[in-house]
Structure 1
Amino acid sequence: MSDEVLQRFSLGGSDVDAAKQLYESGYHGADFRIEKTGKEFSYRHAIAGTTEMSFRSSAMGGHVRGRLEASPDYFVTWLHSGGATVATHGQEATWGSGTPWLFPSGAPFEFETVDFRQSILAFDGAYLEGIAAEVEGPMKGPVRFHFATTPSADDLLAWRRVVDEGAALVLGGSPTALQMAEISRRTVLAMLAAFPHDRDRLPPEVLAPRSARLRAAMEFLQAHADRPVTPADAAEAAGLSPRGLQQAFQRHLAVTPTTYLRQVRLERAHDDLLASSPDQVTVGAIAAGWGFTHLGRFSVAYRQRFGESPRHTLAR
């Protein structure tokens, strides 16, 4: 993935008015009040990612109060230093360092921070809601995360593993388009699994699939496996709802569309390994080219499928 696709932005300084303008414009903010504390005032804000998912870091010395209007997007954040208090609809929660929490979904909120340094994971609203519809069924309205509820220790651990993997890819390298699509989707799935949430479900009669449409979806995924497509794209191409596609795959193939697409890409990686030699390419390069983000997991899945390591296949 080139830098034209993996967007990067960074801005900082010591001007209070510039900081206020940056955060108000970037996060639908209003009525920001920034008071200097004992430290010399400074701020810095950086973004790296795509329109679907981006990793952000933010730091500001000072006592900050303000209001963020309802946003169509989703943000989960955790502090490295300082503290934050958030209030919305009569709920109030305070966080210190280390514990991740979400901006209240689809609602304005007031906040207060002091000398903070934080990480932020941002998701495009339509992208996250599309994945939620695939795995949880068609729903009306946004995903309503319980912003004041902390996930369990096990759920947080699983979520952090995926986030750490994504951060290493985005912040520490130049991921391919397929890698970025894969890690973005997995991060959303980990977020949905870890953080309690609600949505208003659609009636079940919209979910009925047909076998011909299932074949069309399979053919679409096979034809576009080298591109950052999603099950939602296949559902649209086949004239199905995302949940209908999920049910069709489970009923007829006993796998999810995501698993099927990963199997197709594993087959393509196998073909590339057979057609290559160790002096031409590495196993890691081929795995990355087909969107696999973790070489160890790729090797395990490959051995389970083909009965040998990818390194052995490449050496033939």
Structure 2
Amino acid sequence: MAGGRSPGPAAPGADVPVHISLRTTDVDEAREFCRSLYYGPLRIEPVGDPGRFRFQADVVVLGPITLGEVGYGTDIRVSIAALETAYHVLVPLTGMLRSRHRGAVVLADPTRAVVFRPTGDIEVDWPASCRLISVKVERAALEREVDAALDQRVISPLPLGATFDLVDGPGRTWAAMVRLLLTELREPDALASRPRMAARWRDMVVSGLALTVEHPYGEEPAGLQGPHRPRTVKRALDAMHAEPWRAYTIHDLAALAGVGVRVLQESFRQHVGMPPLTYLRRLRLDAVHAELCRSDPGQVSVSEVAYRYGFTHLGRFAGAYRTRFGETPSQTLRDRR
């Protein structure tokens, strides 16, 4: 049996892939492994012969994406509450599984993937014959990519389709890219494991998924299409999303956008709905919340994460956090999902 533990949180912008694997016949050990790398309130129950339980997982964490090849050796049922902080795709390599999510029943096999949105309980009937690649993409990363690619506001969570084709079209290419990346990142000396290359692969996985899975943007959906954002606003947004922890001033952002402070503030009021620094604070709060949701309270502290994202006054940070999320940062960390 080979095992590993969930990596501690990396520094923002770090693109060093972390490979964790586990081979076990212990259901509790497999359950804890999946909870630590994916979602806390996750239930795994064998419904086939428990004596044939053979959990095998090779998982790579790379910034906002988590890729893993997983199999159980016996029939199981996986149940989980709303994902909240991520979108998730299952790509079967062998066999067929049945999932129920948001009123939709999807049969996934090597010809068709299943997609889960952040909201709604999930139940998956996973037979012994099914081995698959599991792809978790942080919610903010995918939504930011769709927003940037289409240059329009998007609602959250994205109204994604529940499935996509793996045989033809972009789904085939995306799945092949994910399989290749996972294979490469298992090897410590692979070119893809170098930070600069890993960052490019990471971006291709996220942007490729945004272009593969069905969503209404670009199809003129009623009530969803947002106003076109001018290039000056997009430059400031791109800078903030790339390095939210930086101590930007309004003058810094105006210089990056190539306009004066008053022009930038008015543009943000019209096209974003809030001033630039208010948007930056919200972006930082969302980043802290996402990290606290996935962190182990025994390995990280609230103050450590807050400082990492540019909050130097913990009292004001705690007040702003509670206003936005309805709970304290410590509660989020303790009750992480």
TM range (shorter): 0.5 to 0.7
Give the equivalent residue in structure 1 for 2:16: 5
Residue 74 of structure 1 is matched in structure 2 by 87
Tell me the amino acid that sits aligned with residue 59 of structure 1: G
Task: Note closer, same or farther for the CA distance 1:75–1:16 as it changes in structure 2 (3 Å cut).
Answer: same
Q: What is the rounded CA distance, in whole Å, between the counterparts of 1:18 and 1:201 in structure 2?
A: 43
Which residue is 2:230 aligned to?
Answer: 208
The aligned residue for residue 140 of structure 1 is: 155
* Inter-CA distance 37–82: structure 2 relative to 1 (3 Å threshold): farther
Counterpart of 1:187 in structure 2 is 205
- Within the candidate set 31, 46, 50, 2:58 is matched to 46
CA-to-partner distance for each residue in 1:231-285, whole Å, 9 max, x for gaps?
Answer: xx999654687xx8xxxxxxxxxxxxxxxxxxxxxxxxxxxxxxxxxxxxxxxxx
Alignment of 1:216-255 (within 5 A): 238=257
Shift of 1:196: 0.3
Q: Does 1:94 align with 2:107?
A: yes
Report deviation, 1:4.
Answer: 9.1
From 186, 190, 195, the counterpart of 1:171: 186
Q: What number of residue pairs does the alignment pair up?
A: 229
Alignment-derived partner of residue 118 in structure 1 = 132
Q: 1:178 to 1:4 in 2, by over 3 A?
A: closer
Contact 2:166 2:172 in 1 (8 A): no
* Residue matched to 2:4: none
1:188 positional shift? 1.7
Which of 20, 24, 27 pairs up with 2:31?
20
Q: Could you tell me which of 37, 58, 79 is aligned with 2:49?
A: 37
After superposition, the Cα gap between the structure-2 partners of 1:98 and 1:170, relative to the gap in structure 1 and judged at 3 Å, is farther
For 1:152 and 1:79, the matched residues in 2 are separated by 12
Query: TM-score with structure 1 length normalisation?
Result: 0.60
| TM-superposed deviation, 1:157 | 3.1
How far off its partner does 1:40 sit?
A: 2.4
Provide the aligned C-alpha RMSD in A: 3.8
Q: CA offset at residue 90 of structure 1?
A: 2.2
Take 1:42 and 1:138, find their aligned partners in 2: how far apart are those partners?
45
Quick one: which amino acid aligns to residue 34 of structure 2? Y
Larger Rg belongs to = 1
Spell out, residue by residue over 1:220-239, the C-alpha distance to the aligned partner (whole angstroms, 9 max, x if none): 8xxxxxxx959xx9996546
> Which residue type is aligned with residue 178 of structure 2?
V
Are the counterparts in 1 of residues 117 and 157 from structure 2 also a CA contact under 8 Å?
no
Higher strand share: 1
Helix, strand or coil at the partner of 1:139: coil
Give distance in 2, aligned partners of 1:144 and 1:23: 26
Q: Is the 8 A contact 2:174 2:205 kept in 1?
A: yes
Identify the residue that residue 197 of structure 1 maps to in structure 2. 215
Where do 4+ consecutive residues of structure 1 move more than 6 Å? 233-236
Displacement, 1:30? 4.3
User: Is residue 101–residue 150 contact of structure 1 (8 Å, CA) maintained in 2?
Assistant: no
Distance 1:167 1:21 in 2: 22
Structure 2 segments unaligned to the other structure (5+ residues) = 1-13, 218-222, 258-263, 272-337
Would the alpha carbon gap of residues 209 and 193 (structure 1) be closer, same or farther in structure 2, given more than 3 Å must change? closer
